[in-house]
C-alpha cells in the first residue's frame, strides 16, 4: 500500500474515483503516449507491397473490388468460367467474410490510393483503439499509470505486429474486430455505470459494426450483457437493465441487418454457402473445408494462447486471467466483472468449437492486459499474485533445469492431448501456484510485512519492465527482420499500377508462370494491383472474344507479342498485348544494356528501382541456350563487396528447363539502393562491371 503522502502526490496517475469515458488532460496525455508507442512499434513498413497468401491476399483483393463497386464484393467481377459458390479463392460474389472491413479498406483507398496500406491503416486503428479501451477499462481499478502500461503492453505483443502487418494467422479483420469488440465492452460498462438508455444505444451501434466485421465472433459482449442482467437480478453487482439489453440487441440488429438482408436476397446461394461455412467452423463436419485448423478442446489454452502471447507463453495469460476473476468476485467492480466475463466466455466457448486459430480469440486479448494492469496495482498489497505473475516468465528456465516437472503432465487425461503433450502450461500452473503459496504464507507469517510487499512489488515491476518494455519490442524487431524480404517482394506491383492506368476496363490478364513466390497468390496479387481479372491459364482468345474482353499476357520471359508500354524496366514481370503478335522484344527501355558471358549464360542487362529506403528491386535480363543454372551476383558498395547472392532460375517463377533458349528471362532480387552500388560482379570468377552514378532525372 502507498503512504498517504505518496498517494496524494501520485493520485492523478495511480487512481482515484473516475467517471468512465470522462477524460481530462492527464488521460489525454496518457492516451497520446499509448498511441505514439503503438505507431512506433506497428507502423514502420506498414505499406510494404508483399501480401501474404490466404487471409491478407484474399481480403486485400476483395477490398480492391469493393473500392471499384461498393456494394458488390467479389474476386472476379465477370468470371469467364463457371465458379462454385464454395470456391472462395475464385469466387464471383465474395461473401466468405462480412463486409465492414472491406468498406473501411475501400474508403481508405479512396483517400490514399489503391495500396495494401489502406487496409493495414484500418488494422492499426483497430489495435490502437483496443489499447485505449484497455486503459479506460483498467484506470479506475488499477490507476492511470498501470492502465497505460497495460495498453502499451497489448501493442508490444509480437502477435499484434503479425496481425497489423498481415503476416499469417490473420490480418486486418482480426484487428478491426478487436477494436470494435473492445469499444463495445467499454460502452457496455458505461451503460451500466450511468444506467442510461442512450449509452445502451451506442453500445448496440458498436456491436452491430463488430458483427459486420466477423459475425458470431463479435457476439461475446452481447453474452456478457445478458449475464450482467442476471447479476443485477441476483444483486451481485450493479448489473444491466433488461430494457437496456434489448436496446443493445435491437440497435445492433438495425446496424447489421440491412446488409445481411440485402446480400441474402441478392445472392441467396452464395449467402447461404457463406453462412454454412461460418457455422461449419463451429462443428466442422468432414465435408466442410476448414484447412488444417481442426484442434482438440484444450487448444485454446495451449496452442492458441502460446501463439498470441509468445514469447511469454500461455501460462502468463491464464494466471493473470485468473486474477481477473478473483478481483471481480472480491470487489465486484463493474469493469472488472465485465472484463472477466468477456475473457473467459471467449476462451471457454471457443474451446468447444472444432476450428481454432489464434485470431479467433484475439478479440478478447485486451482483457488479459486489463488483468495485468490490475496486478501491477494489487501486487503491493497482495504480493502473492505478483510472485505468481513473475514466476510465469521463468517457466522455460525451470523446465530446462528441472525436467522432472514434466511428470505432472502424466496425470493429465488423454482427452486433453495438448495439455498432456506440450510442455509449459501444466508445469506453469504448478510453478505459479507454488510461488503464490510460498509468498502468501510468508506474507501472512510476517503479519503482512510492508517490507516484504515492497520487495515483491519492486521485483515484479522490474521483471515486467524488462519483459514488456524490452523483450517484447526486441521480439517485434526480430520478426521485422525475419519477414522483411517477403514483405518487400511483389512481382506484380510495378506492372499492375501501369496496367490499372492504361488498359481498357474490359481486359483480362493471363499469367504465364510455373511457380508462385513463397507465401503468395500471384494471380490475386495481379488482380489487386491491376484491377483486372487474372487467370493462371494459357491465353483463351475464343472465350475473351465471345465475352468482349481484350486478352493480355503476363510473363517473366520475352514473348512474341507487343509489350505494354510504360511498365518500368525494373518490374519483375512483363506485360504483352496478346492481340498484337510481334517479334520478341529487346530488353525494355530504361534498362542498362550489357553483353556479359557468365559460365554459359549471357547477362544482357539490368535495371533497378526503389522499394524502400534500404532496398532496391533489381532485375537481370538473362539468355541461356541450354537449361540455365544459378547465377552469383555481387554488389560493391562503399568500397567493399557484399556477400554474393545466389540467384536460381526459379526466382523467375518458371521451371529452369522452360527458360532454355528464351530470348531473355527475368532474374529478380532485392539489393542495396542503386545510388550506393559502385560496381556489380557476376559468377564464381567475379566479373566486375563498374556502374556510373544514376542520373538525378532517372525514373
pLDDT recorded at residue 85: 86
Between the alpha carbon of residue 661 and those of residues 30, 592, 598, 632, 668, the distances in Å are: 64, 22, 16, 20, 19
pLDDT recorded at residue 215: 93
Other Cβ atoms within 10 Å of 310 Cβ, number = 17
Query: Binning pLDDT at 50, 70 and 90, where does residue 294 land?
Result: confident
- C-alpha dihedral, 191 to 192 to 193 to 197, nearest 10°: 40
> Which residue spans within 1-63 are E strands per DSSP?
none
pLDDT recorded at residue 326: 97
Neighbouring residues of 195: CB distance < 8 A, sequence distance ≥ 6 = 241, 244
**SS3 category, 61:** helix
CB contact at 8 A, 552 and 577? yes
pLDDT of 599 higher than 70: yes
As a whole number, mean pLDDT of residues 630-651 equals 89
Q: Report percent pLDDT > 70 for the chain.
A: 95
Please tell me the distance from the alpha carbon of residue 522 to that of residue 536, in angstroms, as a whole number. 9
**SS3 category, 291:** coil
Neighbouring residues of 566: CB distance < 8 A, sequence distance ≥ 6 = 498, 501, 502
Please tell me the distance from the alpha carbon of residue 194 to that of residue 47, in angstroms, as a whole number. 42
pLDDT recorded at residue 379: 92
Nearest 5°: the CA angle 404, 405, 410 is 95
Please tell me the distance from the alpha carbon of residue 449 to that of residue 443, in angstroms, as a whole number. 6
pLDDT recorded at residue 696: 58
Please tell me the distance from the alpha carbon of residue 105 to that of residue 478, in angstroms, as a whole number. 28
pLDDT recorded at residue 686: 81
pLDDT of 591 higher than 50: yes
Please tell me the distance from the alpha carbon of residue 65 to that of residue 103, in angstroms, as a whole number. 10
> What are the backbone dihedrals phi and psi of residue 295, each rounded to the nearest 5 degrees, phi first?
-135, 155
pLDDT recorded at residue 282: 77
Nearest 5°: the CA angle 648, 653, 659 is 70
- C-alpha dihedral, 245 to 248 to 254 to 255, nearest 10°: -150
Please tell me the distance from the alpha carbon of residue 134 to that of residue 64, in angstroms, as a whole number. 32
pLDDT in tens, 482-527: 999 999 999 999 999 999 999 999 999 999 999 999 999 999 999 9
CB contact at 8 A, 283 and 276? no
Q: Report percent pLDDT > 90 for the chain.
A: 86
pLDDT of 94 higher than 80: yes
How is 235-267 classified by DSSP, letter by letter? Answer: TSSS---HHHHHHHHHHHHHHHHHHHHHHHHHS
pLDDT in tens, 189-229: 999 999 999 999 999 999 999 999 999 999 999 999 999 99
pLDDT in tens, 394-433: 999 999 999 999 999 999 999 999 999 999 999 999 999 9
**SS3 category, 648:** coil
What helix, strand, coil percent values describe the chain, rounded to 5?
Answer: 55, 10, 30
**What b-and-e string marks burial along 624-648, b requiring 16 or more CB atoms within 10 Å of the CB?**
beeebeebbbbbbbeeeeeebbebe
Please tell me the distance from the alpha carbon of residue 44 to that of residue 481, in angstroms, as a whole number. 12
Nearest to 665 by CA among 595, 583, 585: 585
| Cis status of the peptide bond prior to 575, with omega within 30 of 0 | no
pLDDT of 16 higher than 60: no
Phi-psi region of 54 (alpha: psi -120 to 50; beta: other; left: phi over 0): left
Give the chain's mean pLDDT: 93
Please tell me the distance from the alpha carbon of residue 460 to that of residue 392, in angstroms, as a whole number. 11
Nearest to 620 by CA among 599, 637, 641, 605: 605
Nearest to 191 by CA among 179, 207, 178, 211: 207
**SS3 category, 552:** strand
pLDDT in tens, 670-698: 999 999 999 999 998 888 888 877 665 55
Indicate the DSSP class of residue 168: S
Query: Binning pLDDT at 50, 70 and 90, where does residue 7 land?
Result: very low
**SS3 category, 510:** strand
pLDDT in tens, 426-463: 999 999 999 999 999 999 999 899 999 999 999 988 99
**Residue 443 grid coordinates:** 506474507
H-helix or E-strand containing 194? helix 172-194
CB contact at 8 A, 523 and 536? yes
Q: Which domains does the chain have, with CATH numbers?
A: 4-84+96-478 (no CATH), 493-581 (no CATH), 592-690 (2.60.40)
H-helix or E-strand containing 601? strand 601-612
More confident residue, 642 or 658: 658
**Residue 354 grid coordinates:** 472444432
Q: Which residue do the cell numbers 531473355 mark?
A: 664
- The residues that bridge with 689 in the sheet, in sequence order, are 680
pLDDT of 17 higher than 50: no
**Sign, Cα dihedral of 210, 211, 212, 215:** positive
Q: How far apart are the first and last CA of the chain?
A: 65
Amino acid at each position: 500500500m502507498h503512504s498517504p503522502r505518496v498517494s496524494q502526490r501520485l493520485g492523478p496517475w495511480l487512481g482515484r474515483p473516475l467517471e468512465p469515458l470522462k477524460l481530462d488532460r492527464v488521460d489525454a496525455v496518457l492516451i497520446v503516449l499509448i498511441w505514439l508507442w503503438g505507431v512506433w512499434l506497428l507502423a514502420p513498413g506498414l505499406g510494404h507491397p508483399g501480401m501474404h497468401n490466404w487471409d491478407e491476399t484474399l481480403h486485400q483483393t476483395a477490398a480492391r473490388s469493393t473500392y471499384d463497386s461498393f456494394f458488390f464484393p467479389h474476386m472476379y467481377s465477370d468470371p469467364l468460367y463457371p465458379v462454385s459458390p464454395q470456391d472462395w479463392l475464385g469466387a464471383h460474389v465474395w461473401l466468405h467474410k462480412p463486409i465492414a472491413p472491406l468498406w473501411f479498406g475501400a474508403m481508405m483507398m479512396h483517400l490514399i490510393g489503391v495500396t495494401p496500406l489502406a487496409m493495414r491503416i484500418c488494422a492499426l486503428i483497430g489495435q490502437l483503439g483496443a489499447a485505449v479501451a484497455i486503459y479506460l477499462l483498467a484506470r479506475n481499478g488499477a490507476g492511470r499509470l498501470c492502465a497505460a502500461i497495460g495498453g502499451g503492453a497489448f501493442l508490444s505483443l509480437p502477435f499484434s505486429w503479425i496481425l497489423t502487418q498481415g503476416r499469417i494467422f490473420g490480418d486486418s479483420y482480426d484487428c478491426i474486430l478487436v477494436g470494435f469488440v473492445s469499444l463495445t465492452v467499454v460502452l457496455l460498462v458505461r451503460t451500466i455505470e450511468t444506467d442510461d438508455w442512450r449509452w445502451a444505444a451506442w453500445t448496440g451501434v458498436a456491436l452491430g459494426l463488430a458483427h459486420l466485421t466477423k459475425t458470431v465472433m463479435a457476439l461475446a459482449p452481447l453474452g456478457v450483457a445478458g449475464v450482467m442482467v442476471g447479476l443485477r437480478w441476483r444483486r451481485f453487482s450493479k448489473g444491466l437493465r433488461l430494457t437496456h439489453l434489448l436496446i443493445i440487441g435491437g440497435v445492433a440488429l438495425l446496424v447489421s441487418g440491412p446488409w445481411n438482408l440485402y446480400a441474402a436476397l441478392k445472392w441467396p446461394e452464395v449467402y447461404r454457402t457463406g453462412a454454412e461455412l461460418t457455422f461449419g467452423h463451429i462443428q466442422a463436419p468432414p465435408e466442410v473445408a476448414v484447412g488444417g485448423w481442426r484442434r482438440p478442446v484444450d487448444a485454446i489454452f495451449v496452442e492458441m494462447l502460446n501463439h498470441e502471447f509468445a514469447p511469454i507463453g500461455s501460462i502468463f495469460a491464464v494466471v493473470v486471467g485468473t486474477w481477473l476473476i478473483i478481483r471481480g468476485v472480491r470487489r465486484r467492480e463493474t469493469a472488472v466483472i465485465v472484463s472477466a466475463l468477456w475473457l473467459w466466455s471467449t476462451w471457454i466457448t471457443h474451446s468447444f468449437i472444432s476450428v481454432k486459430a489464434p485470431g479467433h480469440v484475439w478479440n478478447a486479448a485486451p482483457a488479459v492486459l486489463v488483468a495485468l494492469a490490475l496486478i501491477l496495482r494489487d501486487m503491493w498489497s497482495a504480493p502473492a499474485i505478483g510472485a505468481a505473475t513473475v514466476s510465469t516468465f521463468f517457466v522455460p528456465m525451470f523446465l530446462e533445469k528441472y525436467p522432472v516437472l514434466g511428470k505432472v503432465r502424466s496425470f493429465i487425461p488423454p482427452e486433453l492431448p495438448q495439455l498432456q503433450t506440450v510442455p509449459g502450461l501444466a508445469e506453469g500452473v504448478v510453478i505459479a501456484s507454488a510461488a503464490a503459496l510460498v509468498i502468501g504464507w510468508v506474507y501472512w507469517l510476517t503479519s503482512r510485512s510492508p517490507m516484504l510487499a515492497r520487495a515483491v512489488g519492486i521485483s515484479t515491476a522490474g521483471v515486467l519492465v524488462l519483459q514488456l518494455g524490452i523483450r517484447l519490442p526486441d521480439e517485434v524487431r526480430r520478426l521485422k527482420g525475419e519477414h522483411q524480404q517477403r514483405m518487400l517482394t511483389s512481382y506484380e506491383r510495378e506492372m499492375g499500377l501501369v496496367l490499372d492506368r492504361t488498359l481498357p476496363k474490359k481486359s483480362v490478364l493471363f499469367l504465364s508462370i510455373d511457380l508462385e513466390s513463397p507465401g503468395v497468390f500471384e494471380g490475386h496479387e495481379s488482380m489487386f494491383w491491376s484491377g483486372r481479372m487474372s487467370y493462371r491459364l494459357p491465353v483463351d482468345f475464343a472465350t475473351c472474344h465471345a465475352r468482349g474482353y481484350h486478352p493480355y499476357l503476363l510473363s517473366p520471359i520475352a514473348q512474341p507479342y507487343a509489350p505494354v508500354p510504360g511498365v518500368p524496366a525494373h518490374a519483375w514481370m512483363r506485360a504483352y498485348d496478346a492481340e498484337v503478335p510481334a517479334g520478341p522484344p529487346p530488353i525494355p527501355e530504361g534498362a542498362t544494356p550489357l553483353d556479359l558471358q557468365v559460365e554459359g549464360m549471357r547477362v544482357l542487362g539490368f535495371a533497378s528501382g526503389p522499394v524502400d529506403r534500404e532496398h532496391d528491386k533489381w532485375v537481370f535480363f538473362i539468355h541461356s541456350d541450354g537449361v540455365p543454372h544459378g547465377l552469383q551476383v555481387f554488389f560493391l558498395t562503399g568500397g567493399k563487396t557484399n556477400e554474393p547472392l545466389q540467384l536460381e532460375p526459379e526466382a523467375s517463377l518458371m521451371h529452369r528447363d522452360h527458360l532454355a533458349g528464351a530470348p531473355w528471362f527475368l532474374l529478380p532480387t532485392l539489393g542495396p539502393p542503386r545510388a550506393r552500388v559502385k560496381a556489380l560482379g557476376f559468377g564464381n570468377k567475379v566479373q566486375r562491371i563498374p556502374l556510373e552514378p544514376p542520373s538525378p532525372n532517372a525514373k
